[in-house]
Amino acid sequence: MISENQIHEELTALFNHLEFTATPAGLYDPLRYMIALGGKRVRPMLCLTTYSLYKDRLGKEVLQPAAGLEVFHNFTLIHDDIMDASAMRRGQTTVWSKWGENTAILSGDVMCIDSFKRIAKAPAECLDEVLQLFNTTAAQVCEGQQLDMEYEELPEVPMSKYMAMIGLKTGVLIACAAKMGALIAGAPEDDCDNLYDYGYSLGLAFQVADDYLDAYGNEETFGKPIGGDIINNKKSWLTTRALEKADELLHEQIMAVSEMPVDIPSQQRDKVARMKELYEKLHIDEDAKYEIIRLTDEALEAAHRACTGLRYEVLKRFADKLVGRTR
Amino acid sequence: MISENQIHEELTALFNHLEFTATPAGLYDPLRYMIALGGKRVRPMLCLTTYSLYKDRLGKEVLQPAAGLEVFHNFTLIHDDIMDASAMRRGQTTVWSKWGENTAILSGDVMCIDSFKRIAKAPAECLDEVLQLFNTTAAQVCEGQQLDMEYEELPEVPMSKYMAMIGLKTGVLIACAAKMGALIAGAPEDDCDNLYDYGYSLGLAFQVADDYLDAYGNEETFGKPIGGDIINNKKSWLTTRALEKADELLHEQIMAVSEMPVDIPSQQRDKVARMKELYEKLHIDEDAKYEIIRLTDEALEAAHRACTGLRYEVLKRFADKLVGRTR
């Protein structure tokens, strides 16, 4: 088994030296910029972690596919930021607002292609399975983004649809990362499938935690202003659950809050405060915490079907680190 | 060897029954729309043609990768149309002007991913080579589009840079199609490389012919209004050659024409007529025809290094059909 420290070091080295073609600079500079912005590198980290359960040494055959997962994730962020008209990401200007929409479209495209290049470096003996997994996942992520945009147009979305949407948008890529590491390590098929389920539930927990932190997090550790989802009327687990749980009167009150003006900071603060009052009246904050624990437990059950002992502990620690912020 | 008629029939059947995932419809409808718009299917046709030189039966192992080339090409068209703000393509509304930019970005993305899915269906024994070829090519096509956009901002581009740009934007994908068919058929390495060169030169000839027809074609067979490049000051082989060949006085006159107003149809007609006068004074129309023949001959020399006799004739007929419109 490879130690968690070792994985950390390899991953840092990998992203410090990630190479992209040099020219034309106008096309590749945004890729370097985006990767340098950092982020938690959740997907490659998870891929290397599940690989480490079966192997004693990290080789190129897993490092490049792991990097491919992160490159793909960053490609989706570049295009999502155009579609959502988001000017800031991780405290920095987004690619489209720095270089314009056309460059952001094209640099995103070449980043998507670059991710396929890296995934294709998986070893020959599992290449077909790895590609099938990744190709299916990549399409699902786009389907999730499409549903997300469609749901933005609706006043209300049932919880089952919301969960299916975040499953596509966030769950499947984290699930794919968990399974891919195991596939490349040559793990038994059952393990691969159970690790997929572990990643999927963990991805859902991660997204619900992100929704929770958007309203209840600490601005400094969360990395963006608190209340953004409420201010922009974004569909989130909190608002979905609130609308599902509210009686007629509260339902009307939530809808009224969503129409409050947000032109100046004080109005934004009022809107966030008012919505959080309604959430708390309905105990949505507690429901969210409970849901994160439930989903994490679901993930750990799947992990336990794949492995026990020290190897299980590695997966448990990974889960705690990823969603532990809310506990 | 497989007959040209058979290839035609298989290709028609392939694109009549090309399947895309069904939901969400908002994501996949634009893909179906784009593929249904038709076009010449040059890339899959060429892939099946080089395959046919070595095999007696068309199987799934080549049909899906061939389709992948067309799907990829269509993905680039969807995104190019956004970047160029083109409202019409093949006489129909473009995807972004029909469904909006966000849908066009995302449907393009999923179309790109779909193309990788189909390319990955190449047989295991050549999968690695096919993927390497396609991945490299796909990135190059984006590089070509980036250079195209950068060159639009410059008053003048040297011919060598113009040719390198269309080589990336158009040449490499046609070259890739020619080589891929041979790779999947298990052709000798030298043949594969020579067929790549055949495709590359043919792709250049095709693009120069397209530039020529934009000014000198027949509106009905060309499929779009004549003079579009001149009206919009698009870089083309004609204008690049004209600026390279012109003395100081003619150079100034060309620049003056490029600044003529094009607000109403009669102004557009005047501008096109005036620019064509200058072209003819410099014999640019004859130069273009000569260049198309020179590039086609270059392609046929490469074809001849790969094969002789009946097989060579197939490649010669393909070239004639593709660029013969200008001869």
Q: Is there a single domain that holds both residue A48 and residue A115?
A: yes
Residue A133 lies inside a defined structural domain of this protein: no
Tell me which amino acid residue A137 is: T
Neighbours of A234 (CB within 10 A): 16
A106 and A221, same domain (yes or no): no
- The domain boundary, picked from A73, A92, A121, lies at A121
pLDDT of residue A325: 56
- Split at pLDDT 50, 70, 90, the class of B31 is very high
Residues of chain A with Cβ-Cβ distance to B149 below 8 Å are 102, 106
Within-domain flag for A321: no
Containing B39, the helix (H) or strand (E) segment is: none
Contact between A14 and A66 (Cβ < 8 Å):
yes
What is the token pair recorded at B189?
Answer: 């390495």
- Taking the C-alpha atoms of A177, B26, B94 and B98 in order, what is their torsion angle to the nearest 10 degrees? -140
- Last residue in a domain, options B68, B91, B121: B121
Nearest-angstrom CA–CA distance, B121 and B136: 17
pLDDT value of residue B301: 98
**Same domain, residue pair B80 and B187:** no
The mean per-residue pLDDT over the stretch B189-212 comes to 98
When CB atoms are compared, the residue of B109, B117, B131 closest to A112 is: B109
Same domain, A86 and A153: no
- Structural domain contains residue A229: yes
Structure tokens at B260: 């003529």
Q: Which residue of A has its CA nearest to B20?
A: A139
Residues A225 and A149 in one domain: yes
User: How many structural domains does chain A have?
Assistant: 2
Between A79, A112, A146, which is nearest B26 by CB?
A146
Distance from CA of A15 to the nearest CA of B (A): 20
Asked if residue B48 has pLDDT above 70, the reply is: yes
Cα separation, A137 vs A84, in Å, equals: 22
pLDDT of residue A93: 94
Interface residue B293 vs chain A (CB under 8 A): no
Q: Do A120 and B131 touch (CB under 8 A)?
A: yes
Q: Identify whether residues A111 and A16 lie together within a single domain.
A: yes
Name every chain B residue with its beta carbon within 8 A of the beta carbon of A108: 109
Among residues B36, B313, B49, the alpha carbon closest in space to that of B181 is found at B49
Shortest distance, CA A305 to any CA of chain B (angstroms): 31
Identify all chain A residues contacting B26, using CB atoms and an 8 Å cutoff.
146, 150
Q: Which of A20, A23, A27 to mutate to test the interface with B (most CBs of B within 10 A)?
A: A27
pLDDT for res A326? 52
In this structure, the answer to whether residues B178 and B300 fall within a common structural domain is yes
Report the CATH number at residue B52: 1.10.600.10
A122 within 8 A of A65, measured Cβ to Cβ = yes
- When the pLDDT of each residue in chain B is averaged and rounded to a whole number, the result is 94
pLDDT of the residue at A327: 45
pLDDT confidence of residue A21: 78
Whether A260 contacts chain B with CB within 8 A: no
Degrees (nearest 5) of the Cα angle B47, B43, B298?
A: 85
Question: Which of B68, B90, B121 finishes a domain?
Answer: B121
> Based on the domain organization, do A28 and A102 belong to the same domain?
yes
pLDDT at A278: 97
Q: A-B interface: how many C-beta pairs under 8 angstroms? A: 104
Do A283 and A193 sit in the same domain of this protein? yes
Cβ neighbours for A160, distance < 8 A, ≥ 6 positions apart: none
Residue B23 with chain A: CB contacts under 8 Å: 143
Scanning chain A, the segments in alpha helix (DSSP H) are: 4-16, 25-36, 42-52, 60-83, 95-99, 101-119, 124-152, 159-166, 172-184, 189-216, 219-222, 228-231, 237-245, 248-258, 265-281, 284-306, 309-323
Domain carrying residue B24: 1-121
What's residue B327's pLDDT?
Answer: 45
B319 and B192 assigned to the same domain: yes
Residue B313 lies in a domain: yes
∠ Cα A218 A224 A226 (to 5°):
55
Question: For the whole prediction, is pTM greater than 0.90?
Answer: yes
- Residues of chain A with pLDDT below 50 are 327
Does residue A315 form part of some domain? no
Do A293 and A159 fall within a single domain? yes
Residue A142: its chain B contacts at CB < 8 A? 27, 106, 109-110, 113
Residue A83 lies in a domain: yes
pLDDT confidence bin for B326, thresholds 50/70/90: low
Is A53 a domain residue? yes
Among A79, A106, A117, select the one facing B142 at the smallest CB separation.
A106
Cis check for the bond before B24: say yes or no (omega within 30 of 0). Answer: yes
**pLDDT digits 0-9 by tens, B242-271:** 999 999 999 999 999 999 999 999 999 999
Hey, is the C-beta of B22 within 8 angstroms of any chain A C-beta?
no
**Whether pLDDT at B173 is above 50:** yes
Does the distance separating the beta carbons of B110 and A143 come in below 8 Å?
yes
- On whether residue B315 sits in a domain, the answer given is yes
Same domain, A66 and A168: no
